[in-house]
Chains A and B, each alone.
Chain A
Amino acid sequence: MQAVEVRDLRKDYGAQKAVQGISFDVREGEIFGLIGPNGAGKTTTLRIVSTLLSMTSGSVRVFGHDVTTESDAVRRILSYLPEEAGAYRNLTGRAYLEFIARFFGNGEKVREMVERGVEIADLGERINDKISTLSKGMTRRLLVGRALMTDPKLAVLDEPTSGLDVINAREIRGIIRNSTKGGRAVLLSSHNMLEVELLCDRIALIHEGRIVEAGSPAELKGKYAAGNIEDVFAEVVKWASATS
């Protein structure tokens, strides 16, 4: 079974066509990256997969569940981290994790989830401080902890290391990489080409709502005779802009 199956997905905002018939699969145990310029349709796609937005046409299934007709089942196995996510500022970090964990279980299960979240966030004693007093980087770590503590079958991460410094970003990448053990999958978007190259098993490049290239980082670098994914990205976007 595929972790995610997207088929001919289209999303219109009135006259604006944000996503124009994209199809891709995310396999179990795989980290799949969506990359593309601003306004390409990455966040819209992630939001549709995460049951937040409806689609104009097409189909999206997460571990066999249709995101439109079985949205509750999808939400039980999915965790979504938005790019500009925030947390309830009057709660402490630990109370926030407990609040989220209680949606997924109770009693001992909540305690286990919270401990896992505390471990991933790695904020030390600051986990007991109010979120309003945490720095942007600390809040992001807390949110990554929140997203992964429920051990989701699919983690949808929009710019997961946004706002983190180099060391913190490196640690979070390690945590994301480990999270795919046992058949878990990750669907992420990122502007950081190095991150995409280091983290993703396969990537898809989106331009103006269409997937214009897909493959593993190694395949794409070979195909475009490029030294890194950033060069592949620049080449593909240049080509796509010229032909569209």
Chain B
Amino acid sequence: MGIRNIIGKEVRELLTPQTLIPIVIVAVILAMMGGVIGNIGEEVTQRPVIGVVDQDEGELSQIAESVLGATARVVHSGTDVAEGLRRTGEGGGVALLVFPPDFSEKILEGEPGTIEIHWIMRGLGMMDSISAAPVEGLIAAVNQAITVTLFEGNVPLNPEVILHPTTRSDTTLVKGKTISGVPPSAIANTLMSQSTMIPILVMMLMMMAGSTVISSMGLEKENKTLETLLTMPVSRSSIVTGKIVGSAAVGLVMAFIYMLGFSFYMRSFQVGAIDLGKYGLALGVLDYLLVGVSIFLALLAGLALCIVLGTFARDYRSAQTLLFPITAMAMIPMFLIMFKDFATVSLGLKTVLFLIPFSHPMMAMRALMFDEYPLVLGGIAYSAVFSAVVIAMAVRIFKSDRLLTGGTPRRQRAARARRRTP
């Protein structure tokens, strides 16, 4: 009986709407993310979608075209590169394969023919480059078919050319920018720091600063210092601002220490990185300023939210539980942005990402590289409005009775008041 009594008490105390609702929300979001990642898996196993431009119209390019027609879903076939890019992009293709005018001629003269691959990269998440992998298989199939043709025709060529009849030149089209000589995998690898480190940094910043401010509210209540603080000759907005700024400073120091270690860890993945500045992807002073503003506003929004959540805290322990919604709000965009690009997720997830203020600094650096200013400025404006509304809400709560009487239903509050008021 005793143990049942204790278990019952623990369950009643720990299983509250405050603890349950965030978990349900996270479960729903994870299920949605599972759907996104599942779709990517399907893309890999399906036939790749491509366009073909045959400017050669020679024997070998015709063979290549027929191989591609059999192994891929060709959404465009023509001779004009610009039109091919447009139509392949519209058709959801991942690459346009161009066979230049001298393709067959060069091979038959004993030089490898060049296949120009124009990659159409839609996003910069880790999962966005996976769709390009099957195209590599198509090139191998084309090579094999040409090799067989050369063997069967007894063409007197250097065996090296017969075995490897083509070379490739990569051009990647990504978010309106053309990056010549670089395949999508190299771009994705180089941008890994933006894809991984920035979201993790923002998440750590939110969790550490958020934990500090929520704990501070819990401790004020547990140590019974809040009543005294509220009778000091200082405005409620100063108390709220002081708590936010103090916690932000502590959070920044903690996140900096954490990221210092993490950046050394991430350097090991930077092999084969390209110089982004060479391709016009470097950030300017204004861009860094916008990233800074975005981080600041997200931090402000997060901490204001923590202050509001902290008013629900009864003590230090309950304050830790209240951090869960903030953790969930930081982790959802972190995983989404690491694996997918804002441009490549569904409308529902786009909405979720935009509404969570922490998403914006996670996306800002990558977006600014590709001149997506509307997304960054929109995020900044939204975060500013979100912060202002939540800070106003926090000040309003600090001006109300709720901090001392609690946020419980009226009947419970009245009962508590009866017990506590001597």
Q: Which residues of A contact B (CB under 8 A)?
A: 13-16, 18, 36-44, 47, 50-54, 72, 75-76, 78-89, 100, 103-104, 143, 146, 159, 189, 191
Contact = CB atoms under 8 A, between A and B. Distances in A.
Contacts of B404: 47, 52-53
Contact of B233 (A50, A72, A82): A72
A18 B225 contact: no
- Enumerate the 3 nearest inter-chain pairs by beta-carbon distance, A residue then B residue, closest first: A14-B410, A16-B414, A86-B224
B267 interface: no
Contacts of B235: 72
Contact of B224 (A37, A42, A84, A103): A84
Contacts of B278: none
Contacts, number: 92
Nearest to B234: A103
Nearest to B413: A13
A103 B233 CA distance: 6
A44 B417 contact: yes
Nearest to B405: A13
Nearest to B221: A86
Interface of B: 223-225, 227-228, 230-235, 400-401, 404-405, 410-411, 413-415, 417-422
Nearest to B416: A13
Contacts of B224: 82, 84-86
12 contacts: A13-B414, A18-B421, A36-B422, A52-B227, A53-B401, A53-B404, A54-B400, A75-B234, A76-B233, A80-B228, A84-B224, A103-B234
| Majority SS at the chain A contact face | loop
B223 A189 contact: no
Contacts of A83: 422
Contacts of B414: 13-16
Contacts of B411: 14-15
Given A15-B414, A72-B235, A88 B422 contact: no
A39 B421 contact: yes
A78 B421 contact: no
A41 B421 CA distance: 6
Contact of A40 (B410, B413, B422): B422
A43 B416 CA distance: 13
B13 to A, nearest CB: 22
A191 B422 contact: yes
Contact of A87 (B223, B418, B420): B223
B243 to A, nearest CB: 13
B231 A52 contact: yes
A199 B337 CA distance: 67
A103 to B, nearest CB: 4
A54 B233 contact: no
Given A83-B422, A85-B228, 14 more contacts: A18-B421, A38-B421, A39-B419, A40-B421, A41-B421, A42-B422, A43-B420, A43-B421, A52-B230, A75-B231, A75-B232, A75-B233, A82-B228, A103-B234
A79 B224 CA distance: 16
A50 B401 CA distance: 12
